[in-house]
Amino acid sequence: MKKWLFLCIVLLVVGFRFYQKEESSVKYRPDSKTVAVQSETEGSEKTIHIDKEQIYEGNLILVNKDYPIHKKGTASDIIKLSQHEELTSGFSLLDHSIRLSQSVTEQFARLTEAAAKEGVTHFRISSGYRDSEEQEVLYREKGADYALPAGYSEHNSGLSLDIGSTLGEIGKAPEGDWLKANAWSYGFILRYPEDKTAITGIKYEAWHFRYAGLPHSQIMKDKNMVLEEYLEYLKQQQSVQITVDNRKYLVLYAPVSKNTSIQIPAGHPYEISGNNSDGVIVTVLLSTWKI
């Protein structure tokens, strides 16, 4: 009987070790801040499993001349804006064919609603999602100085939009000023700023905004980082905490070279986005409170 018991234990241990080998495991590092998080959740953790393909999708994917978009990288909720009047009452469209991610459009509608309360009302979307054929045509027509080849443009993701003003050039219009000051609080980033052309490889575009979501847009704004720098920063930090609008977030980076498991504090909503090169970012909403 004892022999059987012994054999069972041996099998269980071997089996468990084998299971562990199947997945690499990433645990958030309990620095002094995350220890506080652990006590809030009474130390309980949730394990989430990441598929390697998840590297290529989500609001934080980096798409540039070095990292083309993956077939999974295009947002799954692309809509034709002219068919969604309920979302577009706060801005105009340059033409009826413009498409964009629905959730990004909803955030942009929130943004224009807030701007309208401050008297800034002349927003116009001039470009949104482009499929590879449209991007190729643009590249051929405009040339390498003004457009990127198909697959290398953020417009292929459905997360980027070119914003104009019906009052004139966006860089000189009140809409441009308002966006510069406030777009980040709705999850949008000015993707190609004037002082970062050496990093982005793209000349200053006052009109091109990209949705990255909160709290990322706030961190990038606070630290004056473009997406390239921010993703590198997360990779180095591995774990960042920030409070935005009374919401406390934990942001974790995990390298993913094969199917991976990540442990996060249990019982909190979270989102996963790839970086489009070698890992994922998990954003955990730790707490929300009202003043």
Instruction: Rank residues 58 and 128 by Cβ distance to Zn ion and give the closer one.
Output: 128
Q: Which of 90, 109, 93, 119 is nearest to 177 (CA)?
A: 119
Tell me which amino acid residue 155 is: H
Instruction: Give the total of residues touching Zn ion (CB under 5 A).
Output: 2
Q: Which stretch binds Zn ion (CB under 5 A): 28-36, 143-151, 162-170, 253-261?
A: 162-170
Tell me which amino acid residue 35 is: V
What's the min distance (Å) between Cβ of 198 and Zn ion? 19
From candidates 122, 196, 208, 210, binder to Zn ion by CB under 5 A? 208
Phi/psi of residue 282, nearest 5 degrees: -105, 125
d(CA 240, CA 132) in angstroms, rounded, equals 35
What's the min distance (Å) between Cβ of 207 and Zn ion? 7
Is residue 229 part of the annotated active site? The answer reads no
Q: Which stretch binds Zn ion (CB under 5 A): 88-96, 154-162, 175-183, 240-248?
A: 154-162
> Which tokens sit at 102?
């629905």
Given a contact cutoff of 8 angstroms between Cβ atoms, the answer to whether 249 and 2 are in contact is no
Instruction: Rank residues 147 and 286 by Cβ distance to Zn ion and give the closer one.
Output: 147
Instruction: Rank residues 154 and 215 by Cβ distance to Zn ion and give the closer one.
Output: 154
What's the min distance (Å) between Cβ of 134 and Zn ion? 12
Q: Which stretch binds Zn ion (CB under 5 A): 73-81, 131-139, 158-166, 196-204?
A: 158-166
Instruction: Rank residues 208 and 216 by Cβ distance to Zn ion and give the closer one.
Output: 208
Instruction: Note whether 57 binds Zn ion by CB under 5 A.
Output: no
Q: Which of 210, 232, 224, 241 is nearest to 279 (CA)?
A: 232
Instruction: Rank residues 57 and 162 by Cβ distance to Zn ion and give the closer one.
Output: 162
Phi/psi of residue 98, nearest 5 degrees: -65, 130
Query: Interface mask (CB under 5 A) for Zn ion, residues 103-142, using x and -?
Result: ----------------------------------------
Q: Which stretch binds Zn ion (CB under 5 A): 57-65, 107-115, 204-212, 248-256?
A: 204-212
Helix or strand holding residue 272 (H, E): strand 270-274
Tell me which amino acid residue 6 is: F
Given a contact cutoff of 8 angstroms between Cβ atoms, the answer to whether 213 and 187 are in contact is yes
Half-sphere exposure for 58 (CA within 13 Å, toward CB): 23
Instruction: Note whether 210 binds Zn ion by CB under 5 A.
Output: no
Given the DSSP bridges, would you call strands 123-127 and 92-93 parallel, antiparallel or unpaired?
parallel
What's the min distance (Å) between Cβ of 149 and Zn ion? 14
From candidates 63, 162, 212, 282, binder to Zn ion by CB under 5 A? 162
Cβ-proximal residues to 67 (8 Å cutoff; 6+ apart), any chain: 61, 276, 277
Instruction: Rank residues 163 and 280 by Cβ distance to Zn ion and give the closer one.
Output: 163
Q: Which of 122, 113, 232 is nearest to 177 (CA)?
A: 122
Selected catalytic residue, list 118, 154, 205, 228: 205
Site residues for Zn ion per CB under 5 A: 162, 208
- Which residues are identified as catalytic? 205
